[in-house]
Structure 1
Amino acid sequence: MDPWPAPVATGPVRATVAVPGSKSGTNRALVLAAVADGTSRLRAPLRSRDTLLMAGALRALGAEVTDAPGAPGTSATPGEADLVVTGPLGAISGGAATVDCGNAGTVARFTPALATLARGDVHFDGDPRMRERPLTPLLAALRGLGARIDGDLMPFTVRGRGGIPGGAVTVDASTSSQLVSGLLLGAARFERGATVTHAGHRLPSGPYLDMTVADLRAAGVVVHVDDPSAVGGRGAEADPGAAPSTRRWRVEPGGPQARDRVIEPDLNSAAAFLAAAAATGGQVTIPGWPERTEQPGRMLPDLLVAMGCQAELGPEGLRVTGGGRLTGIDVDLSDFGEAAPVLTGLAVLAESPSRLRGIAHLRLQETDRLAALASELGRLGARVAVTEDGLRIDPAPLHGGRLDPHADHRLAMTFAVVGLVVPGVTVDDIATTGKTVPDFARMWTTMLAG
C-alpha cells in the first residue's frame, strides 16, 4: 500500500474532536458482562480491532454478544450500536474453541482466566508479535490456582474443566499490569476467589489496575486491596534496581452482576488530537471529558501544560490551547506509558531537551516502542536516544521522510502529529490506527478542516 502523506497544518489547528469510547473500558466491561449472570448493555462502546477481537473471544467461550440500536447522543459516531452481552460464558460449542488474540494485550491477558471456566479445550494464538509478548507469569499463576494449561507462550491451550479452585498466588507483573488484571477479572468465579500478590521491582501502568478494581466493585464484586493508596502500584520504585515491592489484592468469590454501562471517551486516543493543538499553537476541544475518571489519560492536561500549553475543563469538555512554543519535559511516565509516543512526538518539536523515564516496559508493547521511536524519528533528523528506562530527546532540525509505525497504533498517531509541522512526512500502514481509532485518517483531516 502507498504510504499515507501526513497533512501539514497551514495554521493553528482549531477544532472540536469527539473521540470514540475507551478501549480499556470497553474490554473490561465486555469481560465482566460475559462472566455475569444475565444481560448487560454497553453504551457508546469502542468498535476497533482490539474490542472486536475481545467480543469474538467471549463468543467463542460461550457468551452472547450482539448489537442493538444505540441511544441518540451516547456515541462519538452517530448511529453507532450498543453492545448487548448475555452471560455467563462457559458452554463452548463442540467442546473446543479457538481464541484469536491478534496483537491485543487485553484479549491475550484477560481471557485465559475465563477459559478455565469453560468445559473443553480453548486454544489461544495471535499475531506474530503476540508470540513474543509477556504471558508466562500469567499462565504460571493460573496453574497455581488450579488451571491446566499446555504451553508458556502463544500458542497455548487451556484445558477448561468448568472452573478452578482459586486461592493465593504470587505473580511478577513487572512487565505489564495486565497480568494482574487478567487474574482479578475472572477471580470472582473461582471457587475460593483469589488473593493475588505482585512481587517485583516495578508495577507499571498502575492506574489501569485502579480501573480494574473500580469496575469489579461497580459490578458488585468484593475486592480488598492491601494499601488503598497504592491500588495499582502507585509509588512503585522508579529505580529498576531497587528492592522488590509487594502489592496484594483479594477478590471474594461471587458475582459479578449484570449491569448497563456508558463507556467513557478514550482519553489515550485523545492525546494525538490534543497534541495537534500543542504542536501548531491551536486549540482543540474534546467533548465528554470526565470530571473524575480512573483512566490514566486524566494526566494528559498537566503534561501538556508542562510543555507550554493551557488546559481548561468546562461544560464543553477539555480544551487545550497551544502556547506557540513547546518546551521540553522531564517526567516519570511509569503510570502512563501510553502517553510516551505522542509526548516524544512533541518533544522532537520542542525548543529544549526532554527526558521520559520509567517506561522500560514499552519495549514489550505492540512493538519495542523505545527503539522504534528512536529509529523512525531519527529518519527525520530527530535526536532521540534510548536510555535504560526511557528516552532522551534533544532539539534538532527536522526534515521529511517515510516512517514505519511497526504495526503500532500509537506510533502511527505520533507520526501524524509530527507531520503537522514537518513537511514531507509519510506513514506506512496508517490503517494500524484501527486498533483503537478505526477512522483515524478521516478524523485527522476533518480536524484540520476545523
Structure 2
Amino acid sequence: MTETPAHTSLWPAPHASGPVFATVHVPGSKSVTNRALVLAALAAEPGWLRRPLRSRDTLLMAAALRAMGVGIEEGVGPDGSGEAWRVIPSGLRGPAAVDVGNAGTVMRFLPPVAALADGPVRFDGDPRSYERPLNGVIDALRVLGARIDDDNRGSLPMTVHGGGALDGGRVEIDASSSSQFVSALLLSAPRFNQGVEVRHVGGPLPSMPHIRMTVDMLRTVGAQVDTPESGGEPNVWRVTSGALLGRDLTVEPDLSNAQPFLAAALVTGGKVIVPDWPERTTQPGDRLREIFTLMGGSCELTEQGLEFTGSGSVHGIDVDLSEVGELTPGIAAVAALADSPSTLRGVAHLRLHETDRLAALTKEINELGGDVTETADGLHIRPRRLHGGIFHTYDDHRMATAGAIIGLAVPGVEIENVGTTAKTLPDFPDLWAGMLGN
C-alpha cells in the first residue's frame, strides 16, 4: 500500500464542542447517477436525469460517454425544477479516449458499452486504477464476442475494439472481487444481439444491493430481467435483447454519503435530519438505519426526512458487512469511539477498492492510538483513548470521511487530502462545517 504524497495539504478536522443538531441535504447517489447515464446513453430515445450528482466519478462517466458520441446537455429540467441532464443517444463511435480516474463504475461499466461502438476506445486512468481488477469484465466480453487489447494484464490500460455490435449470450464469471462485474454486463445487455446470461461461479458475491439496484433500474427503462430473486437459478441473471426507453428519472440522495452526518449525531449525542430519504430503495446505505441504531442511536422517517438521534453512548457491534462493504470505513471510525469492541466481517474484497481499505483503516486508526487488527475478512476493533495526528486518505474518499468522524470526538486530527471526497461528495468540507454551524 502506497501512501499519498506528503506534500498534500492537511485539513484540521473540526472538533465538536457539544451535540450536533443539523439538517443536511446530501447530494445525489453516485451509483444511481452513473447507472442512469449508461442506460440513458443506450436508450432508443432521449431522456432526463434530474438532480444528478456532480462529482469526479459522475463527470468522468459523462465525459466518457460524450467521447463515444452521446449527447449530454447540462441545464434545468423541462419544468424548470432544478438541475437536470438531458441525455441524447446517438451512434456510439470511436476512436475515443476514456479517462476512468479511479472510478470503479467507469472502468467496469463502460467497456461493454465500448464494445458496441464503431471503432476503438482506449481506457486509462489514475495509477491506482491499474491495480484494480478488471479481468471479470474483460474475460466475459471476449467470450461474448468482443476484441480487447490489454496485454493479458486483466487491468488498465486497455483498448476495446468496438465492432458496432456484440453477439452476447451465455458467460460464466467470478465476481467475488466486485459485484460491478455483474452489473457491467447487465447494463449493456439489452443492446447485445442475444442479450446475456451471466452465471457467477466463485466465492460469495459482495455488495448484492448494487446488483439489485442495477436490475431495478434496467426494469424501469423497459428491460426484461430474470434474477435469482424472481424465481431464477441462484447466481444467474438473464437480460433479454430489446430497446430501452428514455425516461425522466430523479436521482435519490446518496445514502452512503449520508453516513458521516448520521455518525456525527451518533458520536456527539445530537440529531441530524437528512431530507428526501426514500421509503423504498436498493441503495446499500439504507442499512445505516439498522446498523447505527444497534450502535446506540435511534431513527424515524418523517415528512422532513430521516431523523437520526444519538443517545450519548456508542456501542460496539458484531456485523456482517458483505452486502454493504462501502459503509465499512465509517462504521470502523464509529467503532473506534465505542464503549465495547467491534468485529466487522465479510469485507475481504475491500482490499481491492480505491485503496486496501482494511490495511489503511488499521494503520490510520492505530496511529491515533487505536487498537485495530485485520482478520481474514474484516477488522476487529478494541476502543482505546485516541489522540490527534495526521489521518492519511490514500486518495480514498471514504477514508477521508472516516477521519472526519473521528475528528469530531478527538481534537487535533488532521486529514491529508480531504479534497479526495470530491470523488462522490462535492464540497464535503463546507457541508461538514455547515453541519457544525461553523
Distance of aligned partners of 1:306 and 1:73 in 2 relative to their CA distance in 1, 3 Å threshold: farther
| Residue 69 of structure 1, CA deviation | 1.7
Separation of aligned partners in 2, 1:13 and 1:72: 36
User: Contact between 2:96 and 2:122, CA under 8 Å: does it hold in 1?
Assistant: yes
Separation of aligned partners in 1, 2:418 and 2:78: 31
1:444 is aligned to 2:429: no
Task: Find the counterpart in structure 1 of residue 125 from structure 2.
Answer: 126
Task: Find the counterpart in structure 2 of residue 193 from structure 1.
Answer: 195
**Number of residues paired by the alignment?**
428
Separation of aligned partners in 1, 2:323 and 2:232: 11
1:347 is aligned to 2:335: yes
Distance of aligned partners of 1:89 and 1:352 in 2 relative to their CA distance in 1, 3 Å threshold: farther
User: Mapping of 1:169-180 within 5 angstroms?
Assistant: 169-180=171-182
1:44 is aligned to 2:51: yes
Per the alignment, in what secondary structure is the counterpart of residue 106 of structure 2? Answer: helix
Separation of aligned partners in 2, 1:297 and 1:448: 22
Residue among 244, 249, 259 paired with 1:261: 249
> Normalised by the size of structure 1, how large is the TM-score?
0.93
User: Mapping of 1:21-420 within 5 angstroms?
Assistant: 21-70=28-77, 81-90=83-92, 92=93, 95-151=94-150, 152-228=154-230, 247-420=235-408
Q: Provide structure 2 residue ranges, at least 5 long, that are not aligned to the other structure.
A: 1-7
Per the alignment, in what secondary structure is the counterpart of residue 201 of structure 1? Answer: coil
Per the alignment, in what secondary structure is the counterpart of residue 268 of structure 1? Answer: coil
| Residue 226 of structure 1, CA deviation | 3.4
* Deviations, residues 393-426 of structure 1 (Å, cap 9, x unaligned): 0011110001111000001001001000100000
Compute the RMSD of aligned alpha carbons: 1.4
Percent identity for Structure 1 against Structure 2: 54
User: Contact between 1:48 and 1:438, CA under 8 Å: does it hold in 2?
Assistant: yes
| Residue 153 of structure 1, CA deviation | 1.3
Distance of aligned partners of 1:440 and 1:158 in 2 relative to their CA distance in 1, 3 Å threshold: same
Separation of aligned partners in 2, 1:73 and 1:448: 32
Distance of aligned partners of 1:73 and 1:175 in 2 relative to their CA distance in 1, 3 Å threshold: farther
* Deviations, residues 79-111 of structure 1 (Å, cap 9, x unaligned): 6x2111011441x2xx41111000000000000
* Deviations, residues 188-246 of structure 1 (Å, cap 9, x unaligned): 00111110101111100000000000000010000111343799xxxxxxxxxxxxxx5
Separation of aligned partners in 2, 1:223 and 1:229: 11
| Residue 70 of structure 1, CA deviation | 4.3
Per the alignment, in what secondary structure is the counterpart of residue 256 of structure 2? Answer: helix
Distance of aligned partners of 1:132 and 1:390 in 2 relative to their CA distance in 1, 3 Å threshold: same
User: Contact between 1:58 and 1:89, CA under 8 Å: does it hold in 2?
Assistant: no
User: Contact between 2:117 and 2:162, CA under 8 Å: does it hold in 1?
Assistant: yes
| Residue 379 of structure 1, CA deviation | 1.1
Per the alignment, in what secondary structure is the counterpart of residue 278 of structure 1? Answer: helix
* Deviations, residues 39-62 of structure 1 (Å, cap 9, x unaligned): 111000000000000001111111
Amino acid at match of 2:11: W
Per the alignment, in what secondary structure is the counterpart of residue 201 of structure 2? Answer: strand
> Normalised by the size of structure 2, how large is the TM-score?
0.96
| Residue 2 of structure 1, CA deviation | 2.8
| Residue 71 of structure 1, CA deviation | 7.4
Per the alignment, in what secondary structure is the counterpart of residue 305 of structure 1? Answer: helix
User: Contact between 1:44 and 1:70, CA under 8 Å: does it hold in 2?
Assistant: no
Per the alignment, in what secondary structure is the counterpart of residue 111 of structure 1? Answer: helix
Task: Find the counterpart in structure 2 of residue 239 from structure 1.
Answer: none
| Residue 256 of structure 1, CA deviation | 1.3
Distance of aligned partners of 1:89 and 1:388 in 2 relative to their CA distance in 1, 3 Å threshold: farther
Separation of aligned partners in 1, 2:286 and 2:343: 21
Separation of aligned partners in 1, 2:131 and 2:20: 39
